[in-house]
Amino acid sequence: MEAKIVVPDANVILEYVYNRKYSNQAKRIVADAINEKILMLAPSLLLDEITEVLCGNLNSMEQVKLHLDYLEQLSKQGAMVIVVPNTETRIKAIDIARVGHEKAGYPEFSDSLYHALAVLNNGMFVTNDEKHYSKVKTLGHVSLLSDY
């Protein structure tokens, strides 16, 4: 059986790191990937976004390195595949980022990049960003972390 593809938003990984409200769901995603129930697929942007948050919130370089090493280990084990988005993915992300209207606002391009990766790989973008979710849920391939 082929593993189901899950594209975790950076905020999903940060739920795990900071032991927030939905950390159990985030830990379940990682465990499912390690146990080969799913495959985590993520744009290379995930590493930059996580590094930026860790840089601003952790004084200990050892702690920053520990978290980044863990993500690298997940990649080396094949539980998470990090990809540099190609032109097709970027164009799809632009399409997603243009959904919405002036009053409700538009999805962020960075979130749309994750979502586009899920759409093009018949996967599910899992996010903790309720604003993004509400703007794009009609497009499919997106769910809230709380529902995992």
pTM equals 0.91
Q: How far apart are CA 76 and CA 36, in angstroms?
A: 14
Distance CA 40, CA 140 (A): 18
Q: How many CA atoms lie within 13 A of 131 on its CB side?
A: 8
Q: Report the run of H or E that residue 115 belongs to, with start and end.
A: helix 109-120
Domains and CATH numbers, the chain: 4-147 (3.40.50.1010)
Q: What is the pLDDT of residue 102?
A: 76
Residue-by-residue pLDDT tens, the chain, 148 positions: 456 999 999 999 999 889 899 999 999 999 999 999 999 999 999 999 999 999 988 888 999 999 999 999 999 999 999 999 999 999 999 999 998 777 778 899 999 999 999 999 999 999 999 988 989 999 999 999 999 9
